[in-house]
Amino acid sequence: MLRLTKKADYGLMALKYLAEQQTLAASIRNGANPAQSAKDIAEAYHIPPQLLAKILQTLAKAGLLVSHAGTNGGYSLARSAHDITAFEVIRAIDGPLFITSCITIHGTCDLAGHCTIKEPLRKVNDSIKDLLNGIRISDLIDPAETNPSAALAGGLVSIGL
Amino acid sequence: MLRLTKKADYGLMALKYLAEQQTLAASIRNGANPAQSAKDIAEAYHIPPQLLAKILQTLAKAGLLVSHAGTNGGYSLARSAHDITAFEVIRAIDGPLFITSCITIHGTCDLAGHCTIKEPLRKVNDSIKDLLNGIRISDLIDPAETNPSAALAGGLVSIGL
DNA sequence: GCGAAGCAAGACCAAAGCGGTCGGAGATGT
DNA sequence: ACATCTCCGACCGCTTTGGTCTTGCTTCGC
Ligand code: FES
Ligand code: FES
């Protein structure tokens, strides 16, 4: 259930890595972000390099990363790490799929007429979306600074159906 | 992302249907629950009968339903509709899978050592689990009687997909 | 007791999605 | 201009999913 694809997992890892490198370069050195290459990130996490490359491509196309080709090229964050949510990353990689399996690109599924649980599930969907929206890349780096607005801290989250 | 399988969708529909029939039979008639057959439920929602049958079998094996064979047999809820959560249904059908793709039966995935986002994702996982645990199938029948606790902070942000 | 209605359990199959790989195109620094 | 480095798009096999079929068993109505 609710399986988050490995690609999205890798993507989040890569984003976190880039954010770390960026803040580290901004504080210690004064140079601009050094545009980590896909291969570097892949080796840092021991994941298939070419697969990560494709993920980064997707992320770049989605506007979350900027790519720089050529020697010493690579990727760097398009926005601040504090300004990118986990939801954006996941949606960029896994597409706009949602839990109800009815919400497809073609609009309604063939059961739309007699499906009785569509609305409640949509609410659940929205809640999960909000949950993910409350998580920023910067939160992944330092778990202590999680923002208190998202009830991520282990509290029971209730939704009104 | 986070795709809820169609089987679980069907399962929830069936559970809701059974709950409706059960409460209806308890209030109007005085007879016991009439044990709806799989075919009846399938026809009510226009879903493949044999597929639903297999889903109901799984649900019965999980202890959420009780089956009664023979003529005029069928399925009925094992517990009160107020006492079955959506999480149980989903887990019974789709298995104990979880979002992080690392949490497998074999314990840790091969990236466990150098994966940095495992913990944050686990918290998200728990939050979703709590979210689903807060939904009972009685809530699906009458949306008005939902428990009125705090919705997620930070309003519903809708993104055009 | 007999047959029909219904569940139970398995094998089986096609389609889709996912994870992973390959070779080429393009930019960059020298 | 060249060598090289990196991005980029196409490709491919595997697993999962959704769905069907067959067979056997259990119970009830008659
Ligand atoms: S399955 Fe499509 S609306 Fe519920
Ligand atoms: S991918 Fe397995 S621990 Fe993160």
Name which of A6, A15, A117, A152 to mutate to probe chain B: the one with the most chain B Cβ atoms within 10 A of its Cβ.
Answer: A117
Dihedral sign from CA coordinates of B100, B92, B16, B80: negative
Residue B151 lies in a domain: no
Residue A13: closest C-alpha in chain B = B117
Residue A1 lies in a domain: no
**Number of structural domains found in chain B:** 1
DSSP character at residue A156: P
Separation of CA A90 and ligand 2 centre (Å): 15
One-letter-per-residue 3-state SS of A12-61: HHHHHHHHHHHHHHHHCCCCCCCCECHHHHHHHHCCCHHHHHHHHHHHHH
Which ligand does the CA of B12 lie closest to? Answer: 1
pLDDT by residue, tens only, chain B of 161 residues: 778 888 988 899 899 999 988 887 766 555 556 788 999 999 888 889 999 999 999 999 999 999 999 888 899 999 998 999 999 999 999 887 777 766 654 555 666 566 778 778 888 888 888 888 888 988 887 654 444 333 333 333 333 22
User: For chain B, what is the total number of helices (H) and then of strands (E)?
Assistant: 6, 2
Whether residue B85 contacts residue B133, with contact meaning beta carbons closer than 8 Å, is answered with yes
**What average pLDDT does this structure show over A68-78?**
89
Work out if B94's Cβ lies within 7 angstroms of strand D: yes
Residue B11 lies in a domain: yes
Buried b / exposed e over A26-51, threshold 16 CB at 10 Å, is eeeeeeebebbbbebbbebbebeeee
Q: What Å value separates CA B76 and C1' D21?
A: 26
In the chain, the amino acid numbered A150 is A
DSSP character at residue B5: P
H-run or E-run covering B14 = helix B6-27
Whether residue A71 contacts residue A124, with contact meaning beta carbons closer than 8 Å, is answered with no
Residue A72 lies in a domain: yes
Comparing B99 with A78, the larger pLDDT belongs to A78
Q: What share of chain B is helix, strand, coil (3-state, %, to 5)?
A: 50, 10, 45
Place of tokens 């949606």: A91
One-letter-per-residue 3-state SS of B76-108: EECCCHHHCEHHHHHHHHHCCCCCCCCCECCEC
Residues with CB under 6 A from ligand 2: A 9; B 100-102, 109, 111-112, 115, 118
Residue B121 lies in a domain: yes
Work out which ligand 2 atom sits closest to the CA atom of B115: 4
pLDDT at position B9 is 87
Residue B48 lies in a domain: yes
**Structural domain boundaries, residue A105:** 6-146
pLDDT at position B118 is 79
Q: How many CB atoms lie within 10 A of CB B58?
A: 17
pLDDT at position B161 is 27
A58 to A9, A47, B146: CA distances (angstroms): 14, 17, 40
**What average pLDDT does this structure show over A134-139?**
89
CATH code of the domain in which A111 resides? 1.10.10.10
Residue B155 lies in a domain: no
Which residues lie below 8 Å from residue B41, measured CB to CB, with a gap of 6+? B13, B14, B17, B18, B52, B56, B75
Separation of CA A97 and ligand 1 centre (Å): 14
